[in-house]
């Protein structure tokens, strides 16, 4: 994906839009219910209700709207501050837990014992189904791609941002998982605790490690802040994708959504649109948590479907030699507009490129890994399967594809001509 971002730093697409809309809703839902679980940790008399989580869900969305509109000029500085807190917060969270935990599991238990909590026929099948949770936690590396048209030197900055974010968060995530497993002596007790029953056993594990509700609440507040930060980023990503596809005339009401704020060039109507959709999805949670989970299940299946399609086409193109070598140009953002004598567009490698067999191997692995994740994203988490525990993501993904095809056949084919290639405003400034 980093290579493609270097070749054509643009944004938009039905599958990826719906996927990121689900990510935005999922982040808001996660943040709201983290607050609910934190209240349950500190108040034994508290009885959580579905609408409590929905109200707090809306609060997280409203904060994201405020940051992306009212303080939009300060968004780059806010993101830098979030990165600093992310790094500092990791150590602030992990050091007390590891140091103060009264009991720890042995290395043998951590690295050699596996739990098949879903009661699947084999440990291998359980592993692949459980992998989806880790995949969801690592979402976001492509978010910078969808901000590419607002980024200076996007052909270089965007791919390196994707790689560095993946390496940093992958290392932090791996370290946190190992540390938490070491301090978790009884996972089933954590799952059966008041916070565990709400889906947040980590809060009970943190409390057991510190022996103080005040201390545990302070550390959990760091996680809450980072969830809010993730919601802000998801809002920026989702709104830019909506704006980009509307600019390409691929969305209903495109002529309205493409309007930008005159003073800031912020896609305010796109932000409002994605916020309203997220708010309506939050209402679903009040009626049925199962239906809500069915909607946000699009996050994995839709995004990985879009990854597989683009990565497969890139693999085919690079294996057939259909991509021109990189040549430094005055206007790098025009590199996708090169044409042969017959008028057909030719792709050109960007400045970020893995050449030769190494690039093919990485590309092939990306496609293979994507196919595995896409396949298992449709599986339920445990057996036996009931209507309440069924994974409805295959239904939601098919509905998105069907709607997109019907919309194109009925109307969009009259106005949609593919992604619009624009010259970077920063390149124009060089004239």
Handedness of CA 32, 33, 36, 37 (dihedral sign): negative
Task: Grade residue 253 by pLDDT with cuts at 50, 70 and 90.
Answer: confident
pLDDT at 426 over 60: no
How confident is the model at residue 11, as a pLDDT?
60
How confident is the model at residue 431, as a pLDDT?
39
Residues 268, 261 contacting (CB under 8 angstroms): yes
In the chain, the percentage of residues whose pLDDT exceeds 90 is 52
How confident is the model at residue 331, as a pLDDT?
42
pLDDT at 338 over 70: no
Longest dimension (CA), the chain: 75
Give 341's contacts (C-beta < 8 A, 6+ positions apart): none
> In 3-state terms, what secondary structure has residue 252?
coil
pLDDT, tens digit, 9 for 90 and up, residues 341-358: 444 556 888 899 898 899
Q: What is the DSSP letter of 322?
A: -
Residues 311, 363 contacting (CB under 8 angstroms): yes
In this structure, of 53-57, 271-275, 427-431, the range with the lowest mean pLDDT score is 427-431
In this structure, of 218-222, 263-267, 337-341, 371-375, the range with the lowest mean pLDDT score is 337-341
How confident is the model at residue 33, as a pLDDT?
94
pLDDT, tens digit, 9 for 90 and up, residues 176-192: 999 999 999 888 999 99
Here the tokens at position 293 are 């989970």
pLDDT, tens digit, 9 for 90 and up, residues 113-138: 888 888 999 999 999 999 988 888 88
Task: Grade residue 312 by pLDDT with cuts at 50, 70 and 90.
Answer: very high
Task: Grade residue 32 by pLDDT with cuts at 50, 70 and 90.
Answer: very high
- Distance, in Å, from the CA atom of 261 to the CA atom of 272, rounded to the nearest integer, reads 12
Q: Give the closest residue to 203 by CA, choosing from 130, 189, 92.
A: 189
What is the average pLDDT value for the chain, to the nearest integer? 87
């Amino acid at each position: 994906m980093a290579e493609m971002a270097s070749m054509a730093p643009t944004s938009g697409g039905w599958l990826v839009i719906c996927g990121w809309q689900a990510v935005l809703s999922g982040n808001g839902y996660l943040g709201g219910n983290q607050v609910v679980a934190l209240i349950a940790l500190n108040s034994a008399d508290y009885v959580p209700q579905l609408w409590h989580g929905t109200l707090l869900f809306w609060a997280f969305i409203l904060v994201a709207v405020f940051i992306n509109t009212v303080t939009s000029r300060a968004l780059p500085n806010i993101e830098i501050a979030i990165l600093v807190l992310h790094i500092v917060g990791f150590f602030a969270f992990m050091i007390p837990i590891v140091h103060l935990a009264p009991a720890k599991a042995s290395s043998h238990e951590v690295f050699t014992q596996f739990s098949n909590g879903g009661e699947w026929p084999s440990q291998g099948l359980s592993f692949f189904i459980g992998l989806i949770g880790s995949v969801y936690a690592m979402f976001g590396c492509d978010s910078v791609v969808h901000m590419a048209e607002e980024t200076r030197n996007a052909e270089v900055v965007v791919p390196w941002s994707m790689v560095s974010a993946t390496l940093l968060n992958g290392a932090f995530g791996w370290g946190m998982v190992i540390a938490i497993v070491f301090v978790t002596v009884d996972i089933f007790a954590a799952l059966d605790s008041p916070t565990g029953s709400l889906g947040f056993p980590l809060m009970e594990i943190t409390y057991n490690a510190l022996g103080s509700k005040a201390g545990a609440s302070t550390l959990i507040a760091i996680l809450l802040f980072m969830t809010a930060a993730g919601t802000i980023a998801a809002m920026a990503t989702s709104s830019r994708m909506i704006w980009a596809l509307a600019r390409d005339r691929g969305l209903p009401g495109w002529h309205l959504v493409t309007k930008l704020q005159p003073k800031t060039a912020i896609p305010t109507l796109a932000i409002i649109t994605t916020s309203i959709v997220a708010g309506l999805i939050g209402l679903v949670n009040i009626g049925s948590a199962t239906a809500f989970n069915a909607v946000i299940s699009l996050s994995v299946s839709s995004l990985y479907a879009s990854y597989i399609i683009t990565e497969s086409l890139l693999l085919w193109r690079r294996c057939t030699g259909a991509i021109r070598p990189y040549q430094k140009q005055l206007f790098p953002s025009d590199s996708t507009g090169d044409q042969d004598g017959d008028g057909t567009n030719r792709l050109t490698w960007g400045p970020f490129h893995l050449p030769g067999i190494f690039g093919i191997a990485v590309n092939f692995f990306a496609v293979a890994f994507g196919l595995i994740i896409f396949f298992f994203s449709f599986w339920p988490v445990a057996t036996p399967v009931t209507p309440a525990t069924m994974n409805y993501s295959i239904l939601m993904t098919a509905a998105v594809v069907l709607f997109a095809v019907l919309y194109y056949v009925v109307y969009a084919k009259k106005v949609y001509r593919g992604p619009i290639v624009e010259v970077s405003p920063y390149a124009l400034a060089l004239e």
